[in-house]
Amino acid sequence: MPPQIRAGTLVLIGGACTATGDALGAFVKLAGSAEGGPIVVITSASQDVKGSAKHWEADLQTAQAGDAVFPIIETREDACNRATAKLVAKSRGIFLGGGNQIKLITMLSGTPVGDAIWDNYISGGVVCGTSAGAAALTELTLAGNEVDEDGNLVEQYIGPGLGLLTFKTIIDTHFSQRRRLYRLFVAIAGYPDIMGLGIDEDTAMVVRGEIGKVVGKGGVTFVDGRTVVYDNAEEVTKGRQLTLSSLRVGMIGTGYTFDLRQRELEAVLNKPLP
């Protein structure tokens, strides 16, 4: 059965977005033309929820985003607040900040606020995530498999996400800047039916239905494992290097559109036959 098409729009930002850049600007423009209450900014993914809220308040003011509210959601109890959920449901735009995507998903999944995000989106709302906020919006989310600040390798995690973006897609962020291509290769080798989208910093993929358009400073790398004929993904966890063959990889530049269902550039799909 093909993925169900949602009515809303997703703005998936690869992190480190500038207040006056095109990536954040895409969300501000979409939310500005939408109906409803204020933009709701959720910073639950951050280690410093209140400090992150102040940061985004300043950036959204610079971006001339209009009225915005910043509910402090630090616990699942906060995420069960009915008044906050009502605010989210009636908002003209929802923004999820960065931090730790697993923390964000754990905080919101199965709560009134989490359900309100879903209801807003399927009703035609605009939902934006940056960095961890973007990574959390897929059916499955990716984290780990890189060295932390103390020099220790964090074990790879692939688990349930918030589920707004379907098409068997996972998102990796800060992609070129943090050299995360290998991490995405490992993830896709272990789950070859999934497609990975690596989004650069200050760059967004704006998704309506099954079509995503890239805006901003960088690009989006897509990794499709369905063509792989050999991989040693199970052995990699034992300390061996990844080996695989026939992995399909492409890049989507600014201004180009990508069909998530077909996993191909629209420019290729629409190319006339010779």
Catalytic residue IDs? 131, 174, 201
- Tokens of residue 32, six digits: 């500005």
Query: Would the CA dihedral through 234, 240, 242, 245 be positive or negative?
Result: negative
Pairing relationship of beta strands 146-147 and 153-154 according to DSSP bridges: antiparallel
Distance CA 178, CA 172 (A): 10
- Tokens of residue 182, six digits: 């290998």
Q: List all residues 6 or more positions away from 13 whose beta carbon is below 8 Å from its beta carbon.
A: 23, 24, 27, 128, 129, 130, 131, 133, 134, 173, 199, 202, 203, 204, 216
Q: Please say whether the beta carbons of 216 and 222 come within 8 A.
A: no
Name the helix (H) or strand (E) containing 84. helix 82-89
List, as own/partner pairs, every contact residues 112-116 make where C-beta atoms lie below 8 angstroms and the sequence separation is at least 24, other chains included: 112/79, 112/80, 112/81, 112/82, 112/84, 112/85, 113/42, 113/73, 113/78, 113/79, 113/80, 113/81, 113/84, 113/85, 113/88, 114/79, 114/162, 115/85, 116/85, 116/86, 116/88, 116/89
Q: Alpha carbon of 122 to those of 127, 139, 161, 171: distances in Å?
A: 10, 15, 16, 20
